[in-house]
Amino acid sequence: MKNLNSFSIKNKLNIYEDKVYRSYKCFFIIKNDLVMFNENKFIITSKSLKNFNVKDENTYYLAEKKNICFIGFSITKRQLKKIFKTEKFSLISLRDSISLEHKLLAPYLSALYSLNIWKNNNKYCSKCGVKTSFSSKENSLTCKNLICKMKIYPRLDPTVIILIRHKDKILLARNKNWKQNLYSCIAGFCEFNESLENTVLRETYEEVGLRINKIKYLFSQFWPFSNNLMIGFQAHTNSTKLKINEYEIEDAIWVTKNELKELSQQKKIILPRKYAIAYSLINYWITS
């Protein structure tokens, strides 16, 4: 990561523009809501932020792409109104912003949301109880106790999600707490000292009683709502006989592509939103 000292010490974007990066693209968050400007726009270029002051502790490094630095700011509504006196804005939840905005912006919006919540939830050192200080250079917290000095980094929980196949069918299941008719793939947390492959085997057997084979990694996705790294797998099984864990799973069904299409049209099955990895896994099977 490039050093952000030149960006954050004096806290005025216009002074340091074009010194470290070609330009800055800026996102804003107020508490847990993202700021959306006119025409469903989330990004503001640094050129429009003359004389904008922000503390280092409220500045988040999000990403770098093609020598453009993506930065997030946690500010108040009063500050935002002062900065954008003529431009209208509204507050929107992360879930709505991801479904509304172009998919390419989702990682930046998710990172800003997650970093802001993580920082606010770790204001005190978990080891000694002293206050922490935030550094935007590496998005880390450091205990202010000179004896302790413990460093805290954002937490990420690895979670597997599995596309289970049997011949021309896949398995879809629904959790008891989900909205009506929403079905998805089997998923579960990776436990301490457990490999991802063992998690896939264990979660599948625990939730639906299936023994699986031919486990294959497909792709992954950061899931900001619970700070999960969702790791997508495909697996096969020789049996369709299910033993459902009723504490977690309300229903599970096998479907062919045609059956899924028909049930979706009848709204007897609602698939996850398009930005979710579960949708990508199901679509991978449909198009393969």
For the chain, which residues make up each domain, given as ranges? Answer: 9-114, 157-287
Identify the pLDDT of residue 83.
79
Identify the pLDDT of residue 22.
73
Identify the pLDDT of residue 47.
65
Residues of the chain with pLDDT under 50: 1-19
Identify the pLDDT of residue 34.
92
Identify the pLDDT of residue 97.
84
* Same-fold call for 9-114 versus 157-287: yes
Which homologous superfamily does the CATH classification assign to the domain defined by 157-287? Nucleoside Triphosphate Pyrophosphohydrolase (3.90.79.10)
Give the predicted TM-score (pTM) of the model. Answer: 0.84
CATH match of 9-114 with 3.30.720: no
Identify the pLDDT of residue 15.
33
Q: Select from 227, 228, 277 the least CA-distant residue to 116.
A: 227
Identify the pLDDT of residue 102.
59
